[in-house]
């Protein structure tokens, strides 16, 4: 079996070209039969479904290609045709069998009242909680991807006062998880990780279990407004084109490739809209609040 071309490390190529290389290599591998489609379960827990909506904006590979060619989507709360008992039957049939599958989970795991604050469905007339589903599927999956801030460490779902006692996926599963923080994730982060799993297996992860392909550099180091920071030229109001540091920009502490990858087909990104709230960093949103902090670095008036 011929191995696909080796992917260069992220320092050697732009973020966009890394995604393109993954896409092309996975496309060629699937077409030639060198790699096979795998089953995918996308489970939505306590969250806003923002990550599955973001996935619909996937670009190279796009959403249609990913779900029709790269994987066999067995279950998705939002996207599958079957619902009710038929949907739960598909989910439990996979969980109780021996077939290999990849598990992607978005949303936090609600612990309150044994998980009853977030339900996936019913089985044999009994409610199935997100907590039960996460544990059941997490024990059987070949790989697990925590998609978005809520799945990674609780995110907005676990923000104070956290009435549902929501936690990140790692708190209820005792195994290695690939973590893709962001609110929501860029579709490339998930689709690129999925392509890497199909081609080469698990991507190289950092100390926080994030793929280095996408989370290796600070936003601040690649920000197109960095020259203004270096010259001490700062925006005083939202909408101004200068460095946003003094308005509370979290780019200096956030590791992710937004500046070079961008969003919506690589046409824009948060700082182009005068904000970076650090949604890909641990502790978002509580540790990043307040998102806008006027005059935070200025000397007090005498």
Together in a domain, 210 and 176: yes
Taking only the tens place, the pLDDT of each residue in 221-245 is: 999 999 999 999 999 998 999 999 9
Taking only the tens place, the pLDDT of each residue in 15-72 is: 555 666 666 676 677 677 667 788 999 999 999 999 999 998 887 677 777 777 788 8
**CA 235 and chain centroid, separation:** 30
DSSP code of residue 194: H
Together in a domain, 284 and 233: yes
Identify the CA nearest to 243 among candidates 259, 261, 220.
220
Number of domains in the chain: 2
Within 13 A of 199's CA, how many CA atoms are on the CB side?
Answer: 23
As a whole-number percent, the residues of the chain with pLDDT over 90 amount to 63
Which domain covers residue 46, as residue numbers?
10-215
Residue 5 within a domain: no
Together in a domain, 172 and 149: yes
Structure tokens at 44: 């939505």
Together in a domain, 153 and 274: no
Q: 52 burial class (0-12, 13-18, 19+ CB within 10 angstroms)?
A: buried
CATH number for position 226: 4.10.480.10
* Nearest-angstrom CA–CA distance, 243 and 208: 28
DSSP code of residue 208: T
Together in a domain, 239 and 97: no
- The answer, as to whether pTM is greater than 0.85, is yes
DSSP for 95-125, written as a single string: HHS---EEEEEESBEE-HHHHTTSEEEEETT
Together in a domain, 89 and 190: yes
Q: What average pLDDT does range 257-269 have in this prediction?
A: 90
Together in a domain, 183 and 92: yes
Together in a domain, 179 and 268: no
């Amino acid at each position: 079996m011929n191995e696909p071309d080796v992917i260069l490390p992220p320092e050697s190529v732009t973020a966009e070209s890394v995604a393109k290389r993954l896409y092309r290599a996975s496309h060629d591998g699937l077409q030639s039969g060198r790699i096979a489609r795998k089953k995918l379960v996308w489970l939505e827990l306590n969250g806003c479904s923002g990550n599955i909506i973001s996935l619909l904006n996937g670009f190279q590979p796009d959403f249609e290609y990913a779900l029709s060619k790269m994987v066999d989507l067995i279950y998705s709360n939002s996207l599958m045709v079957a619902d009710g008992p038929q949907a739960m039957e598909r989910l439990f049939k996979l969980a109780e069998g021996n077939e290999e599958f990849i598990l992607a989970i978005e949303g936090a795991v609600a612990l309150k009242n044994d998980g009853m604050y977030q339900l996936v469905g019913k089985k044999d007339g009994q409610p199935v909680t997100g907590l039960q589903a996460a544990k059941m599927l997490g024990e059987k999956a070949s790989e697990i991807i925590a998609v978005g801030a809520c799945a990674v460490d609780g995110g907005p779902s676990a923000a104070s006062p956290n009435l549902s006692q929501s936690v990140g996926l790692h708190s209820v599963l005792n195994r290695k998880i690939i973590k893709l923080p962001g609110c929501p994730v860029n579709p490339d982060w998930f689709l690129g990780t999925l392509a890497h799993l199909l081609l080469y297996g698990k991507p190289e992860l950092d100390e926080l279990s994030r793929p280095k392909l996408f989370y290796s550099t600070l936003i601040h180091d690649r920000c197109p407004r960095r020259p203004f920071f270096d010259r001490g030229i700062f925006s005083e109001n939202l909408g101004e084109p200068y460095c946003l540091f003094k308005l509370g920009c979290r780019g200096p502490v956030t590791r992710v490739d937004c500046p070079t990858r961008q969003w919506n087909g690589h046409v824009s990104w948060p700082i182009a809209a005068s904000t970076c709230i650090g949604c890909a960093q641990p502790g978002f949103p509580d540790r990043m609040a307040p998102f806008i902090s006027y005059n935070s670095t200025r000397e007090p008036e005498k």
